[in-house]
Amino acid sequence: MSKIGKKPIEVPEGVEIKISESKISVKGPKGSLNFDFHKDIEVKFSESEKEIEVRAKRDAKQTRALWGLTRMLIANMIQGVTKGFEKQLELQGVGYRMSIQGKKLNLALGFSHPVEVEIPEELEAKIEKNILTISGIDKQKVGQMAASIRALKEVEPYKGKGFRYVGEVVRRKAGKKAVGAEK
């Protein structure tokens, strides 16, 4: 039994749910999202109780694995269309800069060339001082965009230069120690 899959998903006011055979559509104040779930998963929406129940149709290993996953993906869709998601990245390092021009993020990361990253239509990016905030309604796309930007210049352990998530603790290493020449 899935501990997560058993919990019902509460649907807040202002959110419309449409369920067809193996597809669920969620529409809220921030936008709409669609998800195709597996045929072995059953999703029911109770209009009177304003909650969604997710059940496994059969007891197989793959179905049990997909049960909790499907429930969390639907819960994330509901949270996305009501509140949204955001990730914050902090850029540290002398000479490292970032700016937004239209739907492009321009980065100077110490390479011989500037790096340009295209911001997808469904996401929004803001820069305040050295903190980049990526926000949107789809949790997976927000997280993927943040991870791909962070991968351009990950934090190096000696000086701590590069992209890090806000609040992330980076373990620093001691550099080479000068050893006196022995005669």
51 vs 47: CA distance, rounded Å: 7
pLDDT tens per residue across span 96-144? 999 999 999 999 999 999 999 999 999 999 999 999 999 999 999 999 9
Q: What is the pTM of this model?
A: 0.86
Q: How many CB atoms lie within 10 A of CB 4?
A: 13
Domains of the chain, each with CATH number or no CATH: 3-82 (3.90.930.12), 85-165 (3.90.930.12)
Residue type at position 173: K
Mean pLDDT over each residue of the chain, to the nearest integer = 91
